[in-house]
Amino acid sequence: MISKSKYLISLFAALFLLLLGIQVYFMYKTSQVKKKEIYSDVHNRIDGYIDNLESIGGASNLGDEKARKVFADYSNKKISKKEFLHYFEENRKRTRDQISDYIDRHFAKEGYKVAIRTQYLSIVSVPKNLNLIDQPVTLFETRNKITKAGISNTGKWETSSTSKSDKSDQPERNDSFFVKSQTDFEILNINSAVFQDLTLLILCCIAILLSVLILYIFTIKNLIIQQKQVEVLHTVVDNISHEFKTPIATLKIASKTLKKECTPEILPLIDRQILRLEDLILQLHPEDFDEKNSTILPENWDFFIHDLAFTYENTDFKLNNSVSKELPFDRKLMETVIKNLCENSVKYGASKIKIDIKTIHNNLEIIVADNGNGMEQNELTNIFEKFYRIQSNNIHNSKGLGLGLFFVKKIIEKYNGKTEITSEVNVGTTFKISIPYED
């Protein structure tokens, strides 16, 4: 049973981890698709703007003619490399704010933080087949800097023109250039944007996982409880014979005595032990206790102790019975109280047990004191629990079901009584019971 339970728990855990992995993979793939959708939308909305930047509001001073002139001047060594690069730097600074403001306004509703950068990768003079730049030159850039491009567009075009030479005898020059550019886009807060869009889906996935986990924990707890109940049941089955040993042993002794000689006390003793066996069966279901309006006579208390003394010959029972009238309590239940308390004392080492029974102001008072092993103070709150038995180093020192004191508690509660207990290790234990009644 235990090995099977462990197998089921392991299988459940493996399936939960598999479900968790599937959910994580599903969320990852969904986020990747969502990122592509967002990038595609952003790209479509700003692509035309970047392509026609120089014609929108005069954002750029590098129109086609201006660009060709700068390329030609640098190619013909009319300006230095520093001046050539300065043109691009000035254009970048001049257009930065306008491009940034436009982009920020355009995506303010969505909350996207977009970065854009356009670069010339190469500028090749066609006649000379010479690349004017040895590294990319930035033409346009937003205030938000690109860290890792999400989308990159490349473009190629050729500029061509002719110009007269400075010397009249020289033919016209062909100032043609082959230009390759690249525009990079990045949404700097793409992860938070995707998370915001997928919040509902993420919450649903988390809810499903938590539901499965809670069900898993609840199932495990129930399984543990069931296992404990099974263990208790095995304990009851293993030890129930011990509870029957007392009346059976008494009957054997009575039988042997009867064979030798028949005394007036033997037959009533046998009858009481038979009733005791019947009571032990009924006590396995204390919820079935039912008051039958029966009463207990003063001499009945003496019979209870007499039976105990007959069974436990090595234990000194001293009864002080001052009850002088019939009381409105079920005799069988009162016998259970007295015998369970006394037998509990015998189990835990008592050689002397003193029982005081009296009535004070419509209260039945029962005091059972012994000189047994006693109990630790932390045990006193648990001894009335069902199936609880006092342990020493996690080893039960005495046989029993752990039901005796539980039955005592149920009976006392049935009559609205109270129980007090005091105990000291190696000194003894005293039970004091007070039960109210009406004449």
Instruction: Going from the first residue of the chain to its last (439 residues), give the mean pLDDT of each consecutive group of 10, the final group possibly shorter.
Output: 68 84 88 89 77 46 67 85 87 86 87 89 85 87 87 79 53 74 88 87 87 83 79 62 65 70 71 69 55 76 88 90 90 88 89 93 93 86 76 47 79 91 91 90
Which of 134, 122, 112 minimizes the C-alpha distance to 185? 112
pLDDT, tens digit, 9 for 90 and up, residues 281-324: 665 555 555 555 578 998 999 988 988 888 888 899 999 999 98
Nearest 5°: CA angle at 27, between 26 and 28? 90
pLDDT recorded at residue 147 = 86
pLDDT recorded at residue 410 = 86
pLDDT recorded at residue 54 = 46
**Whole-angstrom distance, CA of residue 300 vs CA of residue 175:** 131
pLDDT recorded at residue 132 = 87
State the architecture of 239-436 in CATH terms: 2-Layer Sandwich (3.30)
The predicted model scores a pTM of 0.47
| SS percent in the chain: helix, strand, coil, step 5 | 50, 20, 30
pLDDT recorded at residue 433 = 94
**Whole-angstrom distance, CA of residue 343 vs CA of residue 221:** 36
pLDDT recorded at residue 57 = 35
275, two tokens:
């009733």
Cβ atoms of 358 and 408 within 8 Å: the answer is no
In 100-169, beta strands by DSSP E: 114-125, 130-131, 137-141, 151-159, 162-163
**Whole-angstrom distance, CA of residue 122 vs CA of residue 24:** 44
How big is the chain, counted in residues? 439
Please give the C-alpha separations between residue 357 and each of 88, 175, 341, in angstroms, as whole numbers.
112, 128, 13
pLDDT, tens digit, 9 for 90 and up, residues 378-400: 888 888 887 776 655 433 445 55
Which of 387, 325, 336, 391 minimizes the C-alpha distance to 362? 325
| Domain ranges, ordered by start, for the chain | 2-163+173-197, 239-436
pLDDT recorded at residue 404 = 79
